[in-house]
Amino acid sequence: MRLQLKRIAKRSEYTIGKLYVDGNYFCDTLEDPVRVLKDINKDGDFSDLGEGKIYGKTAIPPGKYDITVTYSPKFGRSLPRLKNVPGFEGILIHRGNSAKDTAGCILVGENKVIGRVINSTPYEVQLTKMILTAEIAEITIE
């Protein structure tokens, strides 16, 4: 299963995207703002002065990441988790409505309100189920 996230609106306070599953549009997404990240001292965290990451307020860097579904103690349910994101930990795909709900994660829903996604719960539930029941071993997002 291949997920593809196309960022279509990069704003100063949030990023709106479209999520595709195996080439088919699935839903809209909301992330923190995209920032230019530079690992100046090569320590892999992007958090040092001049590297660009603002904790909890920065979208993950572009790339291809494996996905697994794991239990989230914070949310009390199993959610899709991106693995090996450089400089980031605990990146989930989950429900939420505004950039305040992301902390670096990817929110799913419908972008019918400027800077927000709505109706996110059914998309989270459906996507998690799709990943759990996929009949292939490799599940990625790019």
Kindly report the pTM of this predicted structure: 0.93
Instruction: Give the Cα-Cα-Cα angle 99, 134, 21 (nearest 5 degrees).
Output: 45
Q: What is the pLDDT of residue 88?
A: 92
The 3-state secondary structure of the chain, one letter per residue: CEEEEEEEEECCCCEEEEEEECCEEEEEEEECCCCCCCCCCCCCCCCCCCCCCCCCCCCCCCCCEEEEEEEECCCCEEEEEECCCCCCCCCEEECCCCHHHCCCCEEEEEEEECCEEECHHHHHHHHHHHHHHCCCCCCEEC
Residue in 28, 29, 124 with CA at minimum distance from that of residue 77: 124
- pLDDT, block means (10 residues), the chain with 142 residues: 96 97 97 90 82 89 95 96 93 96 96 97 97 85 90
Residue in 126, 128, 104 with CA at minimum distance from that of residue 30: 104
Residue with tokens 């292939």: 136
Q: What is the pLDDT of residue 24?
A: 97
Length of the chain: 142
